[in-house]
Amino acid sequence: MNKRKLYWLLLAAAICSPAHAEMSAEELAKLAQNPVGNLVSVPFQNNTNFNVGPQDDRTQNILNIQPVIPFSLNENWNLITRTIVPLIWQPEFAPSQGTTFGLGDIQLSTFVSPSNPSPSGLIWGAGAIVQMPTASNGLGNKNWGLGPTAVALHLQKGDPWVFGALANNVWSLSNDGRGGSYSNFLLQPFVNYNFAEGFYLTSAPIVTANWKADSGDQWTVPLGGGVGKIFHLGRLPVNSQLSAYYNVVTPDDGADWSTRLQVQFMFPK
């Protein structure tokens, strides 16, 4: 074999080999399950909500593009930014209304988090969340919002379990724009059990409360779960996930159940 053929063979092997071979698929899965991990990633999370609206017979779809970018403040602290950019497809709820598609209100969360977990495996982050009035076609609120956000989880080497919770509350800063004032709470508990080769079981229901709604219409409480798997596109690790949730508590016009499909492109340091 001449040197030129050897060069191209080695180059092809480098392109096709998994990135960060020193990290196993299970380690990559755990890294993806840490909301404040030191990891640049771009998740695409598609949520399909069934039996929505006054007649309980419509389907709504929300694609959340959620880039996560960490910054090192110093050797002890990181700043993690998490952005949610929602693309919403709204069904027709009344005759001649038509369907609506557009951008929802973008949310930016920032967490200050220790660079290294505690010996017990505790990881935490705290900061602020900002809601921006970016919605088009009436798919959001025209008032800015602000509030606290925090996350805590347990993740330890050798332990297949990763579990914790993320919470925030966003208050409108005014009620001048269309949509009026709001106060929205979110709690996302999550639990994952990791197997070899990057396969895992997961449950991460998103519990929400609209404090401005009438009593009995404030809460959405889902139960469910699904499966996930790490695979590679060439050298790029990808976290894939499919789950379903049934809403045991829901507002009058809320969805009865939903499915969640997520593809997360990972760029470990």
- pTM for this entry: 0.88
pLDDT in tens, 94-108: 777 789 999 999 999
Q: Residue 160 burial (CB < 10 Å; 0-12/13-18/19+)?
A: middle
- Using alpha carbons, list the distances in angstroms from residue 242 to 2, 109, 173, 200, 259: 47, 24, 36, 11, 8
Rounded percentage of the chain residues whose pLDDT exceeds 90: 78
Can you count the helices (H) and strands (E) in the chain?
Answer: 2, 15
Q: Tokens 């404090």 — which residue? A: 211
**Closest residue by Cα to residue 74 from 25, 114, 104, 14:** 114
Query: What are the residue ranges spanned by the domains of the chain?
Result: 23-268
Q: What does the pLDDT average to over 126-145?
A: 96
How many other C-beta atoms are found inside a 10 Å radius of the C-beta of residue 53? 19
Rg (alpha carbons) of the chain, rounded to whole number: 21
* Cα–Cα distance measured from residue 109 to residue 132, given in angstroms and rounded to the nearest whole number: 11
Query: What phi, psi does 97 have (nearest 5°)?
Result: -75, -40
pLDDT in tens, 8-36: 444 444 344 444 446 889 999 999 999 99
- In the predicted model, is pLDDT for residue 7 greater than 60? no
pLDDT in tens, 31-76: 999 999 999 999 999 999 999 988 878 999 999 999 999 999 999 9
- 23-268 maps to which CATH number? 2.40.128.130
Contacts 24+ apart (CB under 8 A), 18-27: 18/232, 18/235, 18/237, 19/232, 19/235, 19/236, 19/237, 19/268, 20/237, 20/268, 23/268, 24/198, 25/196, 25/197, 25/198, 25/230, 26/194, 26/195, 26/196, 26/197, 26/198, 26/230
pLDDT in tens, 210-244: 999 998 899 999 999 999 999 999 989 999 999 99
- In the predicted model, is pLDDT for residue 145 greater than 90? yes
* Cα–Cα distance measured from residue 241 to residue 76, given in angstroms and rounded to the nearest whole number: 32
* Cα–Cα distance measured from residue 43 to residue 65, given in angstroms and rounded to the nearest whole number: 6
Amino acid of residue 66 = Q
* Cα–Cα distance measured from residue 176 to residue 193, given in angstroms and rounded to the nearest whole number: 46
Please name the residues in contact with 146: beta carbons below 8 A apart, sequence gap of 6 or more.
128, 129, 130, 131, 170, 171, 173
Q: Tell me, what's the pLDDT at 13? A: 42
How many other C-beta atoms are found inside a 10 Å radius of the C-beta of residue 215? 5
Q: Which two tokens stand for residue 262?
A: 């997520």
